Amino acid sequence: MKLLIITSVSQFEKDVSKIFEKAEILVYSTSDIQGQKFFPSKTIQNNWFSAQRDSHDSKLYFAFTTEDKVEAIFKGVEAFNAEKSKSNPIKAIVLEIEKYIN
């Protein structure tokens, strides 16, 4: 059993849903989150309306799944990022679950 966690900006919600569907992960959870991006003080002149950070509406997705479906998700995320999102890539991680109750 694996715990799959994905984060993305909210604009990619439909794209992430398609990635889940293609990987045959039909049950997953989501949560609205605020992504924060801090800027080094030397670039603050280019972004003087925000104090030193930007806030972005984002989504957190998670699912309990199997290794083969995780591989399908990672391939989908890599393909999406290479084709459509250089500046705000979808991020995915997987954690091993040692013990669980079903």
pLDDT digits (tens, 9 = 90+) for 22-78: 999 999 999 999 988 776 655 555 555 555 567 789 999 999 999 999 999 999 999
**Residues whose CB falls within 8 Å of the CB of residue 15, separated by 6 or more in sequence, listed in order:** 8, 80, 84, 90
**Residue ranges of domains in the chain:** 2-38+52-96
Q: Specify whether the backbone of 63 is left (phi greater than 0), alpha (psi in -120 to 50) or beta.
A: beta
Q: Into which CATH architecture does domain 2-38+52-96 fall?
A: 2-Layer Sandwich (3.30)
61: which strand partners? 6, 30
Predicted pLDDT at 46:
57
> What's the whole-number mean pLDDT along residues 3-13?
96
Predicted pLDDT at 87:
82
Predicted TM-score (pTM) above 0.75: yes
60: which strand partners? 7, 31
